[in-house]
Amino acid sequence: MTRVPTPFLGRRATLLGGAAAAVGLVFAPGARAQTPLFPTPRQTPGPFYPTDWTGDTDWDLVQVQGALARALGRVAHVRGRVLDIAGSPVANAVVEIWQADNAGRYNHPRDQQTGRDPGFQGRGRVTTGPDGTYSFRTIRPVAYQSRTPHIHFAIAAPNRERLVTQLFVAGEPLNDRDGLFNALQDARQRAAVVAPFEPADRIEAGALLASFDIVLG
């Protein structure tokens, strides 16, 4: 497994810190949140969970080892932390992602492989460090068939039930017509699985950045 340490502080943790400061609460370093965090809701893994994890399955889905060209599509860095509901980081959690390429094709034998981008890795796997952080370099997800753009996630943490969920693009118009997204009736559930993909030229020219903290219930 690959550890990808990153100093990035996730969106949910940042908002929590700002709220605490606003009401005059000060937490000591390493202190847990006084109010439990909302757990990330479960979503279906879909029909295209990767069947082959051999070869290049690292954190960088944009550049496949041995490929002459990098993936088509706009580069997006997806970063965050895996936390428990008390706000404590979950170390040694295996975080997997998989998604369609820029043409809407999955790297999966059950999906149409004609026209699939050979420069896109399609799936990646990392292990969180002591601070619970993870990081991937991928592409902004695209719509295909009846689905809104999304990235699949699976998190396996020690002594915890495996969580499968999806990350959606905040403000994407197709979210309003996506059946799986709208199956989440609670507004807090929907808020827990969306993130803005914002320009991040400071990280990589022309790239986007999405912050996505994952809370294990």
Q: What is the DSSP string of 34-97?
A: SSPPPPPPP----TT--S---S--SSBSSS-TT-SSPPSS-EEEEEEEEEETTS-B-TT-EEEE
Residue 132 scores a pLDDT above 90: yes
Residue 168 scores a pLDDT above 90: yes
Q: Which two tokens stand for residue 62?
A: 């944009």
Q: What is the pLDDT of residues 111-128, one digit of tens each?
A: 999 999 999 999 999 999
Element housing 191 (H / E): helix 187-192
Domain boundaries, the chain: 36-77+93-126+137-216
| pTM, to two decimals | 0.84
Q: Which CATH superfamily is domain 36-77+93-126+137-216 in?
A: Aromatic compound dioxygenase (2.60.130.10)
Q: What is the pLDDT of residue 32?
A: 54
Residue 26 scores a pLDDT above 50: no
